[in-house]
Chains A and B, each alone.
Chain A
């Protein structure tokens, strides 16, 4: 057997307990050493300790796999506690729940519709063709010979989320980051809860289908009669995922075309609809030969307040003009730097904001920006300042929106780089 996921709550607590001991041990060593260290050495030591703590914690999570790993991934994205290398490692790990065999597939369908898969669909492939977050996707056909994608959720995943949230909370409670981590966890739990209710995803999918009308962008059609809390049936969009598509060595024209489409989807969703359909994860897009872009997975749609949507272009404008006053004013409106002294503000601007702004506006200034062909990749160049910015204490919800927005932007840039696309970033939305 290749997988060794400790499944029972006891087994999972065992893993958590071990991590607990380790973290505790590290803290003790630090306390023992502290009296003998100079102040700066002490601080340095504390920093190393914190990094160690984060490492141990996240290692423990990834041993739990399943939902705990997913929580850990979200947490690492949310808090930026981990060094980039580890964060990337974590995001690559497989947060797959065990696959559903035929008896369970049968059971989930039976529970949802009171009939067997054969009776509900005119064709149903018991072998899943894709993994979904917390479930898997099957190909099927309905009476009208329409190709469908049926997403099924592993039974009892909500109970597992409860247990895992408890465990993770227990783990982080004793660390120095407790306050930050715990508040992020609340948000993550909320998001996971939404994600396991497929009816919400059905609502979101339909909402986007009604409101986002962009040429060459397709959104699957929900079949309400074949959907429930744990089953989501939609039309099956053709096309390939990013990596598959890239393997066929698409032309530069095609790369640019899709890059532009992705960018347009982003701008239109944000400015037109005040919503973003998902994290920019390569798995959420389908590329077709005909040049249409399919959007998948509306499980974690993020909505933005009108206030934020109007503030954002102002901030970008200020960055373009290198207007320190306006930039700081915007951040103050986001509630991010409100309790800083003037000197501290100036230092913050020089150290964090200005480099970030230079980096951020580079593509905007050049009109068409080529994401390929930089000796140091564009996102890598901006990562440090981006990280510092995201690490600023959040004070209210607006700041949350800001961080999420930035992260989406960043993820999108990474995809452009992967695609090697040149994208026209000239803003229709820049005031």
Chain B
């Protein structure tokens, strides 16, 4: 039986959702591929045609989430009229809104990646790439429109925002205030600072300053080394030289 591309995508989506449900219920370790397959109404073997391992399922789910976030942002009709600050905040808030039903699942993801092995970071590359693409697009658009000055080290900005957002997620996962209002305030205030940094071109200026200090320091150090000539204060005494008696 030939399965159409569309149907395949649908099944994929169903498996991912089932995986999220099962992992939330049982935790990642106890969740079995078989149960996920059953929940998604696909054959025990078929599931492996879609995802070779349980880990893959996890990471693909995160990637799909990013696609959903991008889609949700596109749905906001006047999103392109938002200031960069508002866009960045909306991105963070939309992420949280869409992750909310899967909050426990996300906690599992954190357990497996950021809290333990480095391998997770590699596996999340796809997710990070999608997230970064959204941020880059916002920053590029803001620069094109003249909203913020051109940013030196522009390629660093999106990864930095990713790191920032991982921090926000970690905070959110531990946030027990009603409606996670503390996280809302944290984002509200921190994004304002980020926007200020971007508006003033602060990153470039700070890095310039650092590199200036670094270079002048290193340079002086090199001079000191040269002055010394010999690394020793005086010649070494002979071996066992003082040991006459």
A contact set with B: CB distance below 8 Å: 1, 7, 98, 101-104, 106-107, 110-111, 116, 118, 155-156, 158-159
- Determine which of A1, A156, A158 lies in contact with B184 in the assembled complex, contact meaning CB atoms within 8 Å: A156
Q: 5 A-B pairs, CB-CB below 8 angstroms?
A: A98-B188, A101-B89, A102-B86, A111-B179, A158-B181
Contacts A1-B196, A101-B85, A118-B77 given; does A156 touch B181 at CB 8 Å: yes
By a CB distance below 8 angstroms, the chain B residues around A155 are 179, 181, 184-185
| A-side contacts of B46, CB under 8 Å | none
Name the interface residues of B76-97: CB closer than 8 Å to any CB of A.
76-77, 82, 85-86, 89-90, 93, 97
What distance in Å separates the Cβ of B21 from its nearest Cβ neighbour in chain A? 21
Flag if A104 contacts B179 (CB, 8 Å): no
**B178 contacts A by Cβ under 8 Å:** yes
- Chain A residue with Cβ nearest B94: A103
Contact of B93 among A103, A116, A118 (CB under 8 A): A103
Task: Give the chain B neighbours of A7 by CB distance below 8 A.
Answer: 185, 189
> Is B177 among interface residues, defined by CB-CB distance under 8 A?
yes
Q: Which residues does chain A contribute within 8 Å of B208, judged by CB atoms?
A: none
| A104–B88 CA distance with the chains assembled, in angstroms | 12
B85, closest chain A residue (CB)? A101
How many A-B pairs with Cβ below 8 Å?
Answer: 47
Q: Which residue of B lies closest to A160 (CB)?
A: B185
Contact of B86 among A98, A101, A111, A116 (CB under 8 A): A101
Are B86 and A156 in contact (CB-based, < 8 A)?
A: no
Q: Are B181 and A110 in contact (CB under 8 A)?
A: no
Q: Known interface pairs A101-B86, A102-B86, A118-B77. Does A107 touch B97 (Cβ–Cβ under 8 Å)?
A: yes
Contact present for A104 and B97 (CB under 8 Å): no
Shortest distance in angstroms between A135's beta carbon and chain B's nearest beta carbon?
13
- In the assembled complex, the Cα of A107 lies from the Cα of B183 at a distance in Å of 13
Contact A159 B86 (CB under 8 A): no
A106 with B189, Cβ < 8 A, contacts A1-B196, A101-B85, A159-B182 known: no
Select from chain A the residue with minimum beta-carbon distance to B196: A1
Interface residues of A, dominant DSSP: helix
Q: Is the CB of B178 within 8 A of A158?
A: yes
Q: Which residues of A contact B181 (CB under 8 A)?
A: 155-156, 158-159
Which B169-206 residues have a C-beta within 8 angstroms of A?
Answer: 177-179, 181-182, 184-185, 188-189, 196
Please pick, from B90, B178, B196, the residue contacting A102 in the complex, using a CB distance under 8 A. Answer: B90
Contact of A103 among B77, B86, B185, B189 (CB under 8 A): B86
* CB-CB nearest 9 A-B residue pairs: A156-B181, A103-B90, A103-B89, A155-B184, A155-B181, A103-B93, A102-B86, A156-B185, A101-B86
Q: In the complex the two chains form, is A106's CB within 8 Å of B177's CB?
A: no
Nearest CB of chain A from residue B82's CB, rounded to whole Å:
6
Residues of A contacting B185 in the complex (Cβ-Cβ under 8 angstroms)? 7, 155-156
Known: A1-B196, A118-B77. A159 touches B178 (CB 8 A): yes
Q: Shortest Cβ distance from B54 into chain A, in angstroms?
A: 33
Please measure, in the bound complex, the distance between the C-alpha atom of A98 and the C-alpha atom of B181, giving whole angstroms.
15
Q: Is the CB of A156 within 8 A of B177?
A: yes
Enumerate chain A residues within 8 angstroms of B76, measured Cβ to Cβ: 106, 116
Which residues from B are CB-within-8-Å of A106? 76, 90, 93
Instruction: Please name all residues of chain B whose beta carbon is closer than 8 Å to the beta carbon of A104 when the two chains form the complex.
Output: 89, 93, 184, 188
Q: Select the residue from B77, B82, B184 with max chain A CB neighbours within 10 A.
A: B184
A116 and B184 alpha carbons, distance in the complex (Å): 17
Q: Which of B89, B97, B177 contacts A110 (CB 8 A)?
A: B97
The answer for the CA separation of A7 and B93 in the assembled complex, in Å, is 20
Q: Contact string, B56-88, partner A, CB cutoff 8 A, digits 1/0?
A: 000000000000000000001100001001100
Q: In the complex, what's the smallest C-beta–C-beta distance from B51 to chain A, in angstroms?
A: 32
Chain B residues with Cβ under 8 A from A110's Cβ?
A: 97
Name the residue of chain B whose CB is nearest to the CB of A157.
B181
A2 to chain B: closest CB distance in Å?
Answer: 12
| Neighbour of B182 across the interface among A1, A101, A111, A156, CB < 8 A | A156
CA of A102 to CA of B89, assembled, Å: 9
Within 8 A of A (CB), among B20-71: none
